[in-house]
Amino acid sequence: MDEAIDTTSESRGARGEGEAMAGVAFRDPVGLEDEVAAIQLEIARALVRAPTLPVELPAFDLTFLSVGAKKGAVDLYMGKQQPIARLRIERASTDAKADAKGKVPAVDVSIVELDRAAQRYWPKLEAMARRLRAAITPDKWKRALRLTKQLAELPVEVPLAFYRQLVPGVGEQGLVRTGFNCNQNCGICWQDRTWGRYGPEQILTWIEDLYAAGARGLIISGGEPTLDPELDTYIRRARELGFRAITLETNAIQFAKAGLAERLLDAGLTDCFVSLHSGDAETSDAITRAPGTFSRTVLGVKALASAGVPVRFNCVMTREGIDHLEGVPDFLHREFGDLPLAKGLMLSQPTDPWDRSLLPTIIPEPERLRTVLAKVIDRAFALGIEVSGLDGPCGPPLCAFGADRRIADLQPIPEVLDGRTYLSACDGCAVRSACFGVRIADVELYGDACANPLRELPGG
């Protein structure tokens, strides 16, 4: 692009190879992968004397692929080329029983299925678990835990695109994540709260890279970015570079504290995108799995709008919240109707959660969603609340809301997204070229019911 990175950025270190992505050459951390691999191998050697990683295990017809670290636990990933299961090793419970030789194991080992193929190997995985319980001594476990603590502090097994990217399907919009720590624990979230983070200097470097690539809007997200003490530094630097819009994705809980909204507005924040998944307190707290935070989000939104920060809301449409979805526009109007800066509502579809076992409890039944969604849209517009997002990469297929022309411009989509597909019925749909398609996870649950093709273009 015609804008160059400011020369001050070069003082942060030599330019690495980075990652070419849609015209972006990111200056990513150098040497992290080698550091991670070295610690993973040391853990594997401490526990099972693995000579290298990955290493084939002919006796089990599987490959020991990698090592993961959690607080107080070690995960050994097993599979062929991709993991099908992990063996989670933790300190043995105090009531652990002695084995046939009278030896009390130092660890407990459990099997976590990651792919259906694991069922075929289940007896072999159970045999592995038994061997690990017998072989891991207290000394081996103590050494492994020391190494695991080092590994857990690094951003391990997290694709770099999760931290920085040009937003797919949107255009000149960049995104950085400050980390994945959060003061809520939403079951709908695709993130693992134990993922590591990079330091402030790296985040600033990525912000510069995105500007150099042509991004003029910046989203700062997380986890919960307001938990990062350097947040105002990121915003200020983005404003200095020339980003026209700096959006914070947040649950707004921290903004209930006096002065935060004003400080970030002064740094250059232009607007906030606030997660609020229901207008019913009990339902919202159940979705976020953080009791009492609904009321704090409401207070935070009022503080933002009163300080002069425009707020849009993001409501993820879930099976858990579907019975109260129709009431969201009235709740927004009742609570924030006198705040002209708190108006817009984005309705979005759940992504695949980190815990995929929750999918059946998260994804709403398609016909139920179509029925409720039409009422939500009509009520929102009647109250003067602008609805957006339904025709974007985070929305459902266009047929879920009849490709309502108040929302959908029906322009051809810029790219096909991973995790989306088209059903055979979609071939005859009048708006197929403008639709990102159906989420594969939805199809796995509901099949052909996910699509209700439109035979003619809606009026507008």
User: Does 276 have pLDDT greater than 90?
Assistant: yes
How is 292-311 classified by DSSP, letter by letter? THHHHHHHHHHHHHHHT--E
User: 18 versus 68: which is more confidently predicted?
Assistant: 68
CB neighbour list of residue 385: distance below 8 Å, 6 or more residues apart: 329, 332, 333, 343, 344, 345
User: Does 450 have pLDDT greater than 50?
Assistant: yes
What digits encode the pLDDT tens for the residues 133-177? 999 999 999 999 999 988 877 887 688 889 999 986 556 899 999
User: In this predicted structure, what is the pLDDT of residue 405?
Assistant: 95
User: Does 267 have pLDDT greater than 80?
Assistant: yes
Angstrom distance (rounded) from CA 48 to CA 154: 23
Average pLDDT value for residue range 338-362 = 91
User: Does 356 have pLDDT greater than 90?
Assistant: no
Angstrom distance (rounded) from CA 166 to CA 193: 23
Task: Give me the CATH code for the 160-450 domain, please.
Answer: 3.20.20.70
pLDDT band at 96 (very low <50, low <70, confident <90, very high): low
- Least confident stretch, 21-25, 126-130, 161-165, 259-263: 21-25
User: Does 444 have pLDDT greater than 70?
Assistant: yes
- Least confident stretch, 33-47, 159-173, 256-270, 284-298: 159-173
What digits encode the pLDDT tens for the residues 389-411? 999 989 999 999 999 999 999 99
User: Does 20 have pLDDT greater than 70?
Assistant: no
pLDDT band at 265 (very low <50, low <70, confident <90, very high): very high
What phi and psi, each to the nearest 5 degrees, are found at residue 188? -80, -5
Angstrom distance (rounded) from CA 279 to CA 321: 9
User: Does 460 have pLDDT greater than 70?
Assistant: no
pLDDT band at 206 (very low <50, low <70, confident <90, very high): very high
What digits encode the pLDDT tens for the residues 100-117? 666 788 999 999 998 888
Q: What angle do CA 376, 380, 382 make, to 5 degrees?
A: 120
What digits encode the pLDDT tens for the residues 213-229? 999 999 999 999 999 99
User: In this predicted structure, what is the pLDDT of residue 10?
Assistant: 27
How is 22-42 classified by DSSP, letter by letter? TTEE--PPSSHHHHHHHHHHH
Residue 195, exposed/middle/buried by CB under 10 A (0-12, 13-18, 19+)? buried
User: In this predicted structure, what is the pLDDT of residue 155?
Assistant: 82
CATH 3.20.20.70 location in the chain = 160-450
CB neighbour list of residue 339: distance below 8 Å, 6 or more residues apart: 302, 305, 306
